[in-house]
Amino acid sequence: MTDQYLTEEKTLEATCLGHAALMFRFGDEIIHVDPYGDVADYSRLPKADLILITHHHGDHFDTLAIEDIEKPTTQIIASERVVRELGKGTALRNGGRARWREFGIEAVPAYNRVSMRSPGEPFHIKGEGNGYILEVGHLRIYIAGDTELIPEMENLGRIDIAFLPKNLPYTMSDQMFVEAARLIRPASLYPYHYFEVDRIALQKALPDIRIR
């Protein structure tokens, strides 16, 4: 699925490839987010000018998919652990910022507070992974990564387009998802990283938000 969003100079195309894998086209520039070979044949997709990786789990950090879309000039921005394991790229911590061509990029927290792998060990540890806010033209895009509803969502500011995860036990329950959407209030909302989704029920719960 590909949607188009107009900015002052160019059109941003947003494509959900499956799971948490996204692709953006802005003019001639291609951004891939969390490439994952189980949901797309990356050898057939456009090469990346920029790759964003939220965290080190294999369904977000797939080195074979990265190889398929990487070219000599590809830039990689990722969490510190991903950059360390990959051996290249620019590492951003939560709160860190970067500039890439027309895009402003901010790393924001993504973690679990409730769901645990084992007692005291959340599936996603605070400070280890990133969500990202991309700013281009007048658009602010929130890519949440693997996260539950967390207090930091209150301070994201205006969000035009949001990608929020919805699957248990790793990210958000349906109720958490709805509460997060009401807190963020994006103009357009994409459920992603889900096993199943009832868009009719979500739209009924979020009548003022366009669910894609």
To the nearest 10°, report the CA torsion of 1, 76, 132, 91.
160
Does position 118 have pLDDT exceeding 80, yes or no? no
pLDDT at 115: 65
Backbone angles phi, psi at 52, to 5 degrees: -105, 130
- CATH number of the domain bearing residue 77: 3.60.15.10
Domain extent for 184: 2-211
The whole-model pTM stands at 0.93
Contacts of 175 (CB under 8 A, 6+ apart): none
Assign 204 a pLDDT band (cuts: 50, 70, 90): confident
Does position 116 have pLDDT exceeding 80, yes or no? no
Quote the CA–CA distance of 65 and 31 in Å, as a whole number: 14
Give residue for tokens 């195309």.
13
Average pLDDT over residues 42-71: 96
DSSP string covering the chain:
-EEEEE-SSSEEEEEEEETTEEEEEETTEEEEES--TTTS-GGGSPPPSEEEE--SSTTT--HHHHHHH--TT-EEEE-HHHHHHHT-SEE--TT-EEEETTEEEEEEEE--SS-EEETTEESS-TTTEEEEEEEETTEEEEE--S--S-GGGGGS---SEEEEE--TTTS--HHHHHHHHHHH--SEEEEES-S---HHHHHHH-TTSEE-
Quote the CA–CA distance of 123 and 101 in Å, as a whole number: 34
Average pLDDT, the chain: 91
Backbone angles phi, psi at 131, to 5 degrees: -100, 170
Assign 114 a pLDDT band (cuts: 50, 70, 90): low
Does position 123 have pLDDT exceeding 90, yes or no? no
Strand 103-110 vs strand 129-136: parallel, antiparallel, or unpaired?
Answer: antiparallel
Does position 33 have pLDDT exceeding 70, yes or no? yes
Contacts of 183 (CB under 8 A, 6+ apart): 149, 153, 154
Task: Give yes or no for a contact between 153 and 184, defined as CB atoms under 8 angstroms apart.
Answer: yes
Residue scoring higher pLDDT (210 or 199): 210
pLDDT at 194: 77
Number of domains in the chain: 1
pLDDT, one tens digit per residue, over 136-187 is: 999 999 999 999 999 999 999 999 999 999 877 777 888 888 999 999 999 9
Residue scoring higher pLDDT (19 or 117): 19
Both structure tokens of 114: 């409730």
Does position 31 have pLDDT exceeding 90, yes or no? yes
Average pLDDT over residues 19-24: 95
